[in-house]
Structure 1
Amino acid sequence: MPRENQKSHPNREQRQQDIQDFIEKVRDEFALSYPELEGLSEKEAREVLEVLKNEEDIANKKRMKDHLEVFSDAVIAIVMTVMLLEIPIPSASVSFHEFRHSIFLFLVTFFLVADLWWHNHVAFDGTKTVSPKIVITQFLFMASLALLPVFTHWMMEEITFTAVFAYALIAIITNFFQWCLKYFILQERYANTIHTKEFVKHVSYRRLLNSIIISLIIIGLAKINPYIAFYFYLLSPVASFIRTLREPQEVLRPRFHLKRK
């Protein structure tokens, strides 16, 4: 037994020495990775590391925002292409009237998607970083947007109440997710304020309510006459797109009317 203890004792010492050597090597590598920590006390080093960690987190969020915008642009480009390919070419089985109808419907959805893209672009201009909540909302927005060609093709086949209602429903869902996206961005942008944050919330809810009311009116018109609702959808995205081009910052910069004394 004593001999076994004598043998195990050096082995234990050797393992402890190996661990100590490993720790020293890790410290040396850490010092090479962070030369700004050289000569600092443990407390100062922790403070510097906390600052570096925060800066790295901000940089990662900025990169995520850039990747998210590129991904969104790619999805929108694919949606536009798919809608264009859905247009039938005039032939023996496709009349010119059907071809013209498909062109008009493509333009409706094109301006709707263009308007959504513009609002999405302006919304992301209002922030330098994105949180996980914004990323998830953007994915939901893109998923609903990607379904637009399916419902566009449906209305190309026939303009019925069911087709117009389904198209209106997916448009409402898409607009809702984009509203959530803009709302989250604005809430994070004005997180350190009280009255401004409350004002932005009020304006956002009012715009959401107006959008829902307009969509419900169009759905009601579709019940009476699907073609009337179709032409409303033709005019609504175009008008919205022209308005946002004229006042591109209206989405993120509410107007404050200052009274002159």
Structure 2
Amino acid sequence: MKKLKTRLDAFSDAVIAIILTIMVLDLTPVLRDNLNDYLFLSKQVGIYIISFAFVANMWYQHATLFNDIDDMSYRIMLYDFVFLIPLSLTPLATNMMASNTTRIPVMAYGVLLFVVSASFRLLTRSVMRFEYTDKSKMRQLYRKIFGRHNQYYIISNAILIVLAYFFPQIVLWFYLPYPLVYLILSSRDRQQMYDASQLTTEQRMEYLKLPQNAINQFRDMVQDQAATGTDGATTEEHHPQRGFTGWLDHPVATDSAGHPVNPTVPSNNPNSVEARKERQAQWEEFAKQIRDGSKKYRDTAERIRKEQRDTNREAVKQASRTAEQQQDQRKHDAETAAKEAEIQREAREKASKQAAKETERQQDADKESAKQAAKDIERQAKAKRRAAHEEDKILEHQQKTQRRTERRDAKHQAKLQKLQGQTQPHDAGDKPDSTENNGSENTQPKHDD
């Protein structure tokens, strides 16, 4: 089976090499001196670099993962094929994205990266299950060390897929730093796994209980001691340093101190035993510092809690005094408000009584005015009646006077007619009938009354 595992490594390396070769062959050469063709080629080369970085990172992760085991199981072989299937689709997704950089190809490329990363994590869990047992707690250590970064990868990839729907041209270039960040963080996580693999079972149990910042402090302490030596003097041999430059110079498949660590090496190897003892001693020193720091922290925390309790009690007393003062103030304000309300009520009652008196006086004045107005109306009516009566009398007097005048005029007229009647028979004897008639008419009295 060891030989089969070696051939599986070679097969995986060959598939990845073919993937990179196919991506190079998909680049379209420029046959004419045309600026647009050169720009299109530049975009294709940039997208090829993104895919190359991703595939190369997957090769590194695969190589370091399979370097930790000397044998394999059917599950590992099956999951390795499952990992290579979506990885072999990278040239197709790269060519699609280079030819048509729109939302659908960019989102499809992001989905492919997500599937490849998920299948590789599935392969990693199968290797961990095969390599370590539950008793060694290494599987729990793997989930503790790698789990946090795996969540970051999943969340960041999902965000990029969503953003690719709106900004495909911009999101495309965010896929370039993705494998580099993945490479740096995974290599540091693997160094922590190597550090933990050299500890005893009890020390691993303590390691599991530490927060992430304490684990980083332990790695920094190992690197500092590797750089300065156990006696405090700076050593001349090469040791890893912090920062990005230190990571570039750090040997591959080594722990935080730069010591090669390979679980396939027998445990009785002198170098492996020495490195394991050194790491366990460093852990004991670090654990002692943690315990001393924890005791100091507990004392400080107890003092802070005591001060906090005193502060809280004083705050409660102050709050009680403030509440009492506020209650007295509210009581005083309530009494003042009650007095003001009583004064206002008395003022309103007084104003109401005054208004009632004014209303009553006004009503009396209105009644008096009404009586006076009635009297005035009655006087005016009497005056009108007297005036009308006087007018009637005057009219009746005028009518009587007019009738008397008319009778006088009639009598005078009759006399004139009578006189005329007496003189006319001598002048006009041919009209005796008419004269007689006229004389009879004129002598007829008129009684107007």
With normalisation by structure 1, the TM-score equals: 0.70
Deviates more, 1:68-77 or 1:190-199: 190-199
8 Å contact 2:145–2:192 — kept in the other structure? Answer: no
Over 3 Å counting, the alpha-carbon distance change for 1:241 and 1:198 in structure 2 is: closer
Shift of 1:248: 8.5
Instruction: Work out whether 1:155 is the aligned partner of 2:100.
Output: no
SS at match of 1:198: helix
Higher RCO (C-alpha under 8 Å, 6+ residues apart): 1
Give the fraction of aligned pairs with identical amino acids, expressed as a percent.
Answer: 25
Unaligned runs of 5+ residues in structure 2 are: 197-214, 219-282, 289-449
**Which contiguous aligned blocks of 4+ residues in structure 1 show a shift greater than 6 angstroms?**
none
- Alignment match, 2:31: 91
Q: 1:192 to 1:213 in 2, by over 3 A?
A: closer
Q: In the alignment, what sits opposite 2:56?
A: 114
Query: Does the 8 Å contact 2:145/2:193 carry over to 1?
Result: no
Tell me if 1:229 matches 2:171: yes
Q: Is 1:88–1:99's contact at 8 Å kept on the other side of the alignment? A: yes
Alpha-carbon separation, structure 1, partners of 2:129 and 2:97: 37
Aligned to 2:67: 125
Q: Distance in 1 between matches of 2:116 and 2:11?
A: 17
List runs of 5+ in structure 1 lacking aligned partners.
1-59
Shift of 1:199: 2.5
Between the aligned partners of 2:73 and 2:58, the Cα distance in structure 1 is: 21
CA shift digits 1:84-138 (9 cap, x unpaired): 0011111348711110000001100001000000000000011111100000000
| 2:354 match | none
The corresponding residue for 2:16 is 76
Asked whether the equivalents of residues 108 and 238 of structure 1 are also in contact (C-alpha less than 8 Å), the reply is no
The offset of 1:172, in angstroms, is: 0.7
Opposite residue 82 of structure 1, the aligned amino acid is I
Distance 1:252 1:143 in 2: 28
CA-CA distance at 1:146 after TM superposition: 0.4
2:42 to 73, 78, 100: 100
Contact 2:145 2:189 survives alignment (8 Å):
no
The residue type equivalent to 1:97 in the other structure is: L
Deviation of 1:194 after TM superposition, in Å, equals 5.1
- In structure 2, the partner of 1:183 is 125
C-alpha separation in 2, matches of 1:229 and 1:207: 21
Deviations 1:29-74 (A, max 9, x none): xxxxxxxxxxxxxxxxxxxxxxxxxxxxxxx2x1121011000011
Q: 1:123·1:252 contact (CA, 8 Å) conserved in 2?
A: no
Q: C-alpha distance in 2, partners of 1:163/1:251? A: 37
Matches within 5 A, 1:165-180: 165-180=107-122
The alignment partner of 1:193 has SS state of helix
Structure 2 contact 27–44 (Cα < 8 Å) conserved: yes
Report the 3-state secondary structure (helix = DSSP H, G, I; strand = E; otherwise coil) of the residue aligned with 1:224.
coil
The letter for the 2-side match of 1:119 is Q
Helix, strand or coil for the counterpart of 1:144?
A: helix
Separation in 1, partners of 2:107, 2:6? 35
Determine the C-alpha separation between the residues in 2 that align with 1:254 and 1:159.
44
Aligned residue for 2:176, secondary structure, equals helix
Q: TM-score, normalised by structure 2?
A: 0.42
Determine the structure 2 residue equivalent to 1:207: 149
Range 163-172 or range 91-100, more displaced? 91-100
Cα distance per residue 1:124-173 (max 9 Å; x no partner) = 01111110000000001111110000000001102111111100111111
| Largest Rg, 1 or 2 | 2
Contact 1:134 1:185 in 2 (8 A): yes
**AA matched with 2:11:** F
